Structure 1
């Protein structure tokens, strides 16, 4: 009953995400019981988030978690069919077909910086130190403009971030000339140069972000949950879990207590709440005060 009652809400959240012109995306593996094989299979929980608060927007925040039985590129292509805005991911090749169809890629500096940081932890060198310091300066600019309107963010990026990004490209090119192409460091830098237009895209648009951390944070709770419930009992179980994550995370993003919200909405939907007023029950419109139906 609970899952059925939340279906209209999940559909509304999905629609809100797909109507946005900027989506952040990520995914994580989810073990799924596979009785026929005597072990668990690996399903996938995807996250698609629409959240513009860093650019001063007060628009509703929506986070959608679809579940799929595997990680083939056909899934994001199908899930995001019709979307033609900005898509920020961690260089997942599964989205390349969408980029060819008109979706604009926005890459993630945090993903690149993490690769360099891991190499620096294992084997520090002047090059890794230099790159980490330069990317750290990019994040200092980001902290300065967080929450400002897009125009102000764009001006600050042109004045402060662009010279830093241009200098980083010179460092990358110099490193690739000196390093063996087989070295881990060269491979990390090559990731940056291959995605350079997508990494630089935030400079010219104050609504875009430097990284994909919002989507990554949205999956942390899933990782913790997997350690507790171990696996989904079936594909249907994975889909139900995805629906609950969708509602809970969207509630949190809009400052709504998930437990109070779910309790109230299930009671209303299972009762006589009209489908024509479903929009009033969306997390960004919901009120904790009892709502009375019109006579």
Structure 2
């Protein structure tokens, strides 16, 4: 994640903003407020919900079922706001979603008092409470999503194939594969045909000046005139 620190030589400034992710420890190091005061951490609600879903697999967890119902109400509200502007979405989240989150926290704190430490139920509750500020970050910023499911859908093809690709020859080969995968998905997200994008980029690269390389990034790329 060193690229988030920018590159003075290329005129790229250090990144600041809100990072929405699961609670994988490596992500926390790049949003540490002591080191990066301009960065904010937001947590994925789907990951918190998943813990309660796991509790319901044998059908014997009232807390798991209640947790899922509470998340369902939050997601129902969020689904009604997706067509709004960031400002409108924030206002409606404050009005409709914040009370639901407030009720959930009260419920979690009450239930936590009566469940055994170390149990799966306690872990599900503790995960949500420990990361509460990050999980509710979207209530302060209409541009922040409730979860990162959109991104997970983008990387699903690579996640499903990773066992087949775990022997890629070397660490460098793995890094190169990750770059290509990122370019392919970024091209798709920007509405490009990945094959047309890569073909054009590879054709233009040998004669393009270094100062113009950023023109080939997926979000800036314009197909060469035929």
Which TM-score band (shorter chain)? 0.7 to 0.9
Aligned partners of 2:55 and 2:61 also within 8 Å? no
Pick one of 195, 200, 210 that aligns with 2:131: 195
2:225 maps to 1:291: yes
The CA distance in 2 between the partners of 1:224 and 1:127, in whole Å, is: 31
2:202 maps to 1:278: no
Q: Deviations over 1:204-238 (max 9, x none)?
A: 21011111223322331212332443422101101
2:102 maps to 1:169: no
Q: How far 1:79 moved relative to its partner?
A: 4.7
- Which blocks of at least 5 consecutive residues in structure 1 are unaligned? 1-75
Give the TM-score normalised by structure 1.
0.67
Moved segments of 4+, more than 6 Å: none
Query: What is residue 81 of structure 2 aligned with on the other side?
Result: 145
Bigger relative contact order, structure 1 or 2 (CA pairs below 8 A, ≥6 apart): 1
Pick one of 5, 9, 15 that aligns with 1:83: 15
Query: What is residue 145 of structure 2 aligned with on the other side?
Result: 209
The CA distance in 2 between the partners of 1:208 and 1:196, in whole Å, is: 15
Q: CA separation of 1:86/1:136 partners in 2, compared to 1, >3 Å: closer, same or farther?
A: same
Query: What is residue 99 of structure 1 aligned with on the other side?
Result: 32
How many pairs does the alignment contain?
A: 214
Q: Secondary structure at the match of 2:32?
A: helix
Q: CA separation of 1:96/1:243 partners in 2, compared to 1, >3 Å: closer, same or farther?
A: closer
The CA distance in 2 between the partners of 1:120 and 1:169, in whole Å, is: 20
- Which blocks of at least 5 consecutive residues in structure 2 are unaligned? 6-13
The CA distance in 2 between the partners of 1:285 and 1:80, in whole Å, is: 19
Q: How does 1:34-53 map to 2 (within 5 A)?
A: none
Q: CA separation of 1:171/1:83 partners in 2, compared to 1, >3 Å: closer, same or farther?
A: same
The CA distance in 1 between the partners of 2:219 and 2:16, in whole Å, is: 24
The CA distance in 1 between the partners of 2:113 and 2:102, in whole Å, is: 17
Query: What is residue 112 of structure 1 aligned with on the other side?
Result: 48
Question: What is the alpha-carbon root mean square deviation over aligned residues?
Answer: 1.9
